[in-house]
Amino acid sequence: MGTVFECVHEVIQRRVAIKVLHPEAGRNAETVNRFLNEARAVNRVEHPGLVQITDFGKLPDGAGYLVMEYLQGQTLAGRLEASKGKLSPSEAVQIGIQIASAVAAAHKKGIVHRVRKPGRHRRR
């Protein structure tokens, strides 16, 4: 749906991640609306396990973008790859608790996320 770039604000030296919709996705009004709803939803939940979105806009070519906090760390997919697909029971439970906590917080705000992908977000 989009590409994420690591950027640094030149004046204040803050690292951020900027997610820009692919041009074909940016031409679809429904996709752009889902993109904006993603920003609204995550900021309504305000959970430490969810990335915070600080800005939303459109580029001159019409492509939408989100400015998000930059998170360092490893994706779940990366962790699974590094461990050859096996996590210790305690590590699996710890990750499961973090995911369940974020999903529960979203559900309390009436938000249901459609898809979870292990490579999509980085763990704090």
Q: Tell me how many domains the chain contains.
A: 1
pLDDT of 58-116, one tens digit each? 888 778 899 999 988 888 889 999 999 899 999 999 999 998 999 999 999 888 766 55
Range of the domain at 36: 2-108
Mean pLDDT in residue range 10-31: 87
Q: Which residues, at least 6 apart from 123, have a Cβ–Cβ distance to it below 8 Å?
A: 73, 74, 75, 76, 79, 95, 98
The reply to whether 62 falls in a domain is yes
The reply to whether 122 falls in a domain is no
Q: Are 37 and 44 within 8 A, CB to CB?
A: no
CATH number at residue 47: 3.30.200.20
The reply to whether 74 falls in a domain is yes
Burial category of 51 from C-beta neighbours within 10 Å (exposed 0-12, middle 13-18, buried 19 and up):
middle
Total-model pTM: 0.73
